[in-house]
């Protein structure tokens, strides 16, 4: 028995229960934007090396920024049933704190579906890239708090 709070129809299942991509062809194009954030927590000594541009793998923030932008553009190839979108803007920014790096991604499109998955993917891959580039000096880092903080139609 399906609980009352559970939808009786799932958008990504056809009437036979097979997975499908939702048909959005009849939806109007709308300006859409989403912001996601996440955090890489690391040792203060790692942040000190980052600020001094002394990490062994170089300019980790620039590399992670490019990785985040690339990830947003590749979201539909990574997440099954996610629509390919013509993104009109992707911005990945970092706030370096004493014990970690806050990652923000803003993604925009003029399309039929939202861009929150692209923003989440940008943050996730930027965080993974930071982790990869800092792991030689910090084995105790963690990635977390990845979430959508804003989603809207304009």
What tens digit of pLDDT does each residue of 50-87 get?
999 999 999 999 999 999 999 999 999 999 989 999 99
Pick the more confident residue, 3 or 32.
32
Q: Rounded to the nearest 5°, which phi and psi values hold at 34?
A: -140, 145
Catalytic residue among 14, 48, 132, 138: 132
The reported pTM is 0.89
- Give residue limits of the domains in the chain: 41-153
Give catalytic status of residue 132 as yes or no.
Answer: yes
Q: CATH classification of 41-153 is 3.40.50.150, yes or no?
A: no
Q: Contact 72/105 with Cβ under 8 angstroms?
A: yes
List, in sequence order, the alpha helices (H) in the chain: 44-51, 60-73, 75-78, 116-134
Nearest to 102 by CA among 50, 153, 48, 145: 145
How many residues are listed for the chain in this entry? 154
* Per-residue model confidence (pLDDT) at position 1: 45
User: Does residue 113 register a pLDDT over 80?
Assistant: yes
User: Does residue 5 register a pLDDT over 70?
Assistant: no
Q: 29-41 in b/e burial notation, b at 16+ Cβ within 10 A?
A: eeebbbbbbbbbb
Angle at CA of residue 67, ends 24 and 93, nearest 5°: 90
Q: Give dist(CA 92, CA 69) in Å, integer.
A: 7
The torsion of the CA quartet 128, 94, 117, 24, rounded to 10 degrees, works out to -140
User: Does residue 94 register a pLDDT over 80?
Assistant: yes
């Amino acid at each position: 028995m399906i609980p009352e709070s559970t939808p009786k129809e799932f958008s990504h299942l056809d009437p036979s229960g097979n997975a499908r991509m939702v048909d959005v062809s009849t939806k109007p194009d709308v300006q859409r934007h989403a912001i996601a954030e996440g955090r890489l927590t690391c040792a203060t000594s790692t942040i000190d090396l980052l600020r001094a541009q002394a990490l062994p793998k170089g300019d980790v923030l620039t590399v992670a920024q490019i990785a985040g932008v690339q990830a947003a553009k590749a979201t539909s190839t990574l997440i099954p049933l996610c629509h390919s979108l013509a993104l009109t803007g992707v911005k990945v920014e970092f706030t370096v704190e004493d014990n970690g790096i806050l990652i923000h991604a803003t993604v925009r499109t003029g399309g039929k579906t939202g861009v929150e998955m692209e923003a989440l993917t940008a943050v996730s891959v930027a965080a993974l890239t930071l982790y990869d580039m800092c792991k030689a000096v910090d084995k105790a880092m963690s990635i977390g708090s990845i979430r959508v903080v804003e989603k809207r139609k304009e």
